[in-house]
Amino acid sequence: MEKMRINKAFTLIEPGPVVLVTTNDGNKNNIMTISWTMVMDFTPMLAMTTGPWNYSFAALQETKECVISIPTVDLLDKVVGVGTCSGADTDKFEKFRLTPLEGKQVRAPLIKECLANIECRVIDIVKRHNIVVLEGLAAYFDKARKEQRTLHAVGDGTFIVDGRKLNRKKMMVEKLPPGL
């Protein structure tokens, strides 16, 4: 997994893929499946909605760290599996045969099998709305990976796979952040 410039990392989240979020509570690793995320700026700042109903929330709140991993379509059953059991009684890395990799900035692990990973620190929790605000610190992208299509959760148990890509860079040149 190669390093990716951090000011490009927002482009991993902006299309709205379902993501895996890892934490480490000082004792063990955990993973949750999240599709309620949002880009907030290009640095990047990111938001996600979560709260005490997710077992990972305690570790997130205490360590103020996590990794956002971007899975692809071949990982769909693992993504759904991770989202339908709890870290309270399950080692999800073991159960779903996912491989934790050490990051550089945070103790939460990267996921080797994912297309990309973003190490993040929690910079704020907006409690009245259960919004966790994250800053991306370092990003990694697996260029060698053959399958690069991500998944978009509809919320009714179905998922949309990435289709073709259309280019409007010329029309948008004045609106794009520099260095992309």
Q: Under the rule (CB under 8 A), what is the footprint of a second copy?
A: 8, 10-11, 14-17, 35-42, 45, 47-49, 73, 76-77, 80-81, 83-84, 124, 126, 128-131, 133, 149, 151-176, 180
Q: For the CB of residue 57, give the shortest distance to a second copy in the complex, in Å.
A: 15
User: In terms of CB distance, is 25 or 74 closer to a second copy?
Assistant: 74
* Contact call for residues 55 and 92 (beta carbons, < 8 A): no
User: In terms of CB distance, is 64 or 101 closer to a second copy?
Assistant: 64
Q: Which of 118, 13, 125, 110 is nearest to 60 (CA)?
A: 125
Position 62, amino acid: E
User: In terms of CB distance, is 53 or 94 closer to a second copy?
Assistant: 53
Distance between start and end Cα atoms, the chain = 20
Q: Tokens 């994250």 appear where?
A: 134
* Contact call for residues 37 and 132 (beta carbons, < 8 A): no
User: In terms of CB distance, is 91 or 176 closer to a second copy?
Assistant: 176
Q: For the CB of residue 35, give the shortest distance to a second copy in the complex, in Å.
A: 6
The tokens for 149 are: 């299509």
User: In terms of CB distance, is 14 or 25 closer to a second copy?
Assistant: 14
Q: For the CB of residue 105, give the shortest distance to a second copy in the complex, in Å.
A: 22
Q: For the CB of residue 74, give the shortest distance to a second copy in the complex, in Å.
A: 11
Give the Cα separation of 139 and 47 in Å (integer).
16
Q: For the CB of residue 152, give the shortest distance to a second copy in the complex, in Å.
A: 4
* Contact call for residues 141 and 1 (beta carbons, < 8 A): yes
